[in-house]
Amino acid sequence: MHLKPVIAANWKLNHTPSDARAFLQRFLAQAPKLHERTLIFFPSAITLTTVVDGLKDRPEIWVGVQNVHLEAQGAFTGENSVLMARDVGARVVLVGHSERRHVFGETDAMTTKKMALIAQARLTPMLCVGETLAERESGQTTEVVERQLRAGLSELDDAQIGSIMLAYEPVWAIGTGRTATPEDAGEIHGGLRRALVSRVGEKAAAGIPILYGGSVNRGNASQLLAAPDVDGLLVGGASLDADSWASIVRA
189 catalytic residue (yes or no): no
Closer by beta carbon to ligand PEP, 172 or else 193? 172
Q: Which is nearer to ligand PEP, 199 or 250 (CB)?
A: 250
Q: How far is the CB of 159 from ligand PEP (least distance, A)?
A: 27
User: The dihedral of CA 237, 230, 58, 45: what is its sign?
Assistant: negative
In the complex, what is the shortest distance from the CB of residue 214 to ligand PEP, in angstroms, rounded to a whole number? 5
Nearer to ligand PEP, 5 or 160 (CB): 5
Residue of this chain nearest to ligand PEP (CB atom): 236
Report phi then psi at 100, rounded to 5. Answer: -65, -45
Torsion angle of the four alpha carbons 24, 26, 31, 33, in this order, in degrees rounded to the nearest 10: 40
Active site residue 99: no
Beta carbons within 10 angstroms of residue 47's beta carbon: 22
Active-site pick, 15, 97, 99, 106: 97
Half-sphere exposure of 178 (CA within 13 A, CB side): 8
Closest to ligand PEP by CB, 66 or 112: 66
Q: How far is the CB of 98 from ligand PEP (least distance, A)?
A: 7
What are the backbone dihedrals phi and psi of residue 137, each rounded to the nearest 5 degrees, phi first? Answer: -70, -20
Strand partners, 211: 167, 232
- List Cβ neighbours of 45 (8 Å cut-off, separation of 6 or more): 65, 66, 80, 85
**Which parts of this chain interact with ligand PEP (CB under 6 A)?**
10, 12, 169, 174-175, 213-216, 234-238
Quote the least distance from Cβ 213 to ligand PEP, whole Å. 4
Q: What phi and psi values does residue 19 have, to the nearest 5 degrees?
A: -60, -40
Just list the catalytic residues: 97, 169
